[in-house]
Structure formats: structure tokens, C-alpha cells
Amino acid sequence: MKTALVTGANSGLGRAIAQGLAAAGWRVGLVARDCARGEAALAEIRSATGNPHLQLFVADLASQAEVRALAESVLEHFDALHLLVNNAGTAFRERRPSPDGIERALAVNHLAPFLLTQLLLERMTASAPAQIINVGTRMNTAMDLDDWNWERRPYRMMAAYGQSKLGNLHFTFELARRLAGTGVRVNCVFPGVFRSNLGGTDGAQGLFWRLVDRLIGWALPTPERAARGVLRLAVDDSLAQVAGAYLWNGRPIQAPPQARDPEMNRRVWALSLAATGLQDASGHQ
């Protein structure tokens, strides 16, 4: 039986991905920030799919201590890990530092998947063939690497969100180069625009966005439809050789210029190592 871990799995896209994998017979670990919502999602997925092989992990991904504890728990419960879906994402109307002093969108959207992936990578390599899927967004932006923590600039919600999510692409492309020949591949998937609760529990969905959802939300694709691209990459054998790609609907799309620059990928990697206290393969922090 193949084993997957999905972050942000209690609602929206993450829940749809988790349910799709459960329906396909995978053992699935669901990561949720809130225990009650996580337990409710797990029970509903189990009821819908009849799959008893579901495990809930509770962690606030804004906290690096909780990400580390999550990784330890996953390694304790799962002796193999074939798929990691870094899906959890959020946005904030104002700058809010994480417990580690990091702007919270950057902490959750980029540094949490960076740290979690690194902590689980040895288990995934031992489980190869295995795959990491980073759920990205599509915004033409660039990270300000001289102030990525928003300490000097006026804070803007969408700019902070977009730059933190661009980190997913930098991470994907640099990690793909480092994983060549290991049997573990990594890709970034843009699920498209769909009816989402992004940032809803973090205060990002103000009156304007609630009105937009009420007026045209019915016309947007459901999370279940948006999940198809992620699930296809996970289960379709014809895509088993795809690695280091940025995809939408199963087709490659072009990343913003900054993310296509290998030197910028390496700079973001180095900043991420420093921000998470990790060391690279050469032993340097």
C-alpha cells in the first residue's frame, strides 16, 4: 500500500486531494492545524471512501517547532512515504510574525514545506520511487530577497502572499536538481482558480472577497475539480518521469523570470536553510 501525506487536508483543495488518494486505496496522513476540524474531515473521508487507513496529524505550520514535531510523528507512524503534498497555504491582511519571528505567510507558504520536506526526505528516498508535489499559484512576481521578511517595506497582503508562493517554485526547481538520480521527484502544480477558503481562518477574507464569493463563487470550479491535476500527477503512470516541472492541467507552464534563474533558486535555498536552521548536504548551514 502506498502512503501519502497531505498538508492543509481538513478543507478545500487539501481535503479533496486526501479524499481522492483515499478512494484510490492509499494510506493517507492528513495534516490539519485544528484538531476538531481535522477529525471531522478524517471521519467524512473515511465514510465516503471506506478506507480505514487514515491518520490525522495536528500541527500549526507557522511554528517551526510544530513542523519538526509533525515530521517526528510522521516518521514514527509511517515506515514508508511515497507522496508528500505540500498544499497548506494562507494569507494575512497585516504583517503577523510567526513564533519564530518570520512573516507568517512566508512561514506557512514557503518555509514550512521547505522544512517539512527536508525532514522527511530520507524516508522518501528509502521509499523510492516517491514524489513531492508543491501546490503553487500563478502570479507574475519576484521575491525581494533583501527584505523577504517584510521588515522594511510597507506590508501588502497580496504581494506578501505572491512572493511567499513564488518560494515554492524556487524550492521546486532547486530541489529537483539536487534529487536527480535519487528516485524522488518534485514538481509544482498550479491547481487553477477555484472556490477557496484561502486565509479564511486567518482573517484574510474581508467583506470585499466575501461579496465576490457570494456573487460569482458559484461559477468557480470546486476544490474537487481543482484537485484533479494534483491527483493525476500522483497516480498516472504516464507522468512518472515528470520532474522539476511547473504544471497546470497536466501541461507545463512558464514560471516568472526570477524563478527560472538557477542562481536565484540557490539564493532562496540558502536563505531558507538559514531561516530554518538546517544544514545543506555539505554540512554548511
**Residue 246 designated active-site:** no
- Tally of CB atoms within 10 A around 194: 18
Which residue in 26, 57, 78, 161 is the catalytic one? 161
Q: What is the DSSP string of 37-88?
A: HHHHHHHHHHHHH----EEEEE--TT-HHHHHHHHHHHHHH-S---EEEE--
Give me the sheet containing 83-86, strands edge to edge.
54-58, 27-32, 3-7, 83-86, 130-135, 184-189, 246-248, 251-252
Residue 129, preceding bond cis, omega within 30 degrees? yes
CB 246 within 8 A of CB 187: yes
What residue has cell string 514535531? 69
Q: Report the sign of the C-alpha dihedral through residues 132, 138, 144, 147, in that order.
A: negative
Q: Report the sign of the C-alpha dihedral through residues 183, 120, 189, 235, in that order.
A: positive
Task: Report helix, strand or coil for 136.
Answer: coil
Task: Report helix, strand or coil for 9.
Answer: coil
| Residues with catalytic roles | 161
